Chains A and B, each alone.
Chain A
Amino acid sequence: MYQERTGAAGTTICSVGDPVGSIESSVGGYWAIAPSDAARPILRQSGAGRKYLEFSGVTQALQVPNFALTSRMYVGAAAQNAVSGSGMWFLEQSAQAALNDGFLVRGTSTFAWLVRRTLSHSAVGSGNWSGISLSALEWLYTTATQAYYLDGVAQASGTIAGTLVSDTTATDTLNIGSRNGASQFFNGSLYALVIADSADTLSAGDLANLRTWVGQKAGRTL
């Protein structure tokens, strides 16, 4: 994690309170890069000692270029919504959202996962992501059925008709904290993010470990 927006060429390691220009994923070799200096989220630390990224809802965002997806995924995040406002987009694979495709979490007074244009991105069940609580948000798609979880509690599930866009689109930009890096910026905190592709090949133990880790980052037992 570096202050510079130069990925692996970064030299200034972030301390608490510093702007974060580049973050390397733990696996996969991906770099999340802020699109400008002003867009860099800030590394903060809670009273409980947890570190997180602060997004102010103005221009802070990260982008992962050439992000490859497969159709079967596990996405888990420990995040906090600062306000129950509307129009904040938390995760988006950019070009797909213009077609209401790809995947995203929209941090409104409810949270919503959108996976394919055939699925509504309105509120998912009663899975409210409201107020300011730190929550574990998960989307699990390992078979033809997908399921959404809030703090480990299944909110809704359904069968995906047809193929996911990621079946036919190899790579795209992953936006964290904005819509396409240009609007609807996230106002909140990100404590952890896991995106595991080929999730249908994960062992039950590996999947459980991922979910446990996300839950721990959110202060939950999943």
Chain B
Amino acid sequence: MMATAYTHSLVVIAPTELWASIQALNAALGHDVGDGRPLSATGAEPETHRGVQAWVQQTFAHQATGAEELPADAPEGTAALLSACTISADELIDPIGSGPSTGELSTYGSAAGHWAAALAAAQLQVIE
């Protein structure tokens, strides 16, 4: 089985007014982060934050969480933007794919569990 490069679940939660900047930063890096999910403390309007969970490569996860330095060619303001967000990463238990690849994560169990834990820590809920 070929190992995947997408070994990390990444959750990014940003104040709503910064989401356009998050989208622009990702676009500059060649990614489309999408619209994310609207969030608030109660799960009702008004929206205060936006968030997303995605599978990313290790370097991307480490740079987003500050575990590695940002690349020299990172867009200006990247560090400040990231510092204004709540970002967490979790790693596949079996990233080399030596057996079944069921997406089990080291800390949160699953991507859905990672997302739920991040929302709980930020005291936010999805506005459906």
Contact = CB atoms under 8 A, between A and B. Distances in A.
A219 to B, nearest CB: 15
Interface bin, chain A = 20 to 34
A61 to B, nearest CB: 10
A57 B115 contact: yes
Q: Interface of chain A, helix or strand or loop or mixed?
A: loop
A53 to B, nearest CB: 11
Given A45-B101, A87-B128, A59 B34 contact: yes
B72 interface: no
Interface stretch (A16-24, A64-72, A138-146): A16-24
A17 B6 CA distance: 7
A58 B6 contact: no
A36 B35 contact: yes
Interface residues of B, number: 32
Chain B, interface SS category:
loop
Contacts of A49: 100
Given A38-B53, A44-B102, A45-B100, A56 B34 contact: no
A187 B109 CA distance: 14
Interface string A31-51: 000011111101011110100
Interface of B: 1-7, 26, 31-37, 51-55, 92, 97, 99-103, 110-112, 115, 128
18 contacts: A15-B2, A15-B4, A16-B2, A17-B92, A19-B6, A36-B33, A38-B33, A38-B53, A39-B34, A42-B6, A44-B103, A46-B102, A47-B99, A47-B100, A54-B111, A58-B53, A59-B34, A59-B36
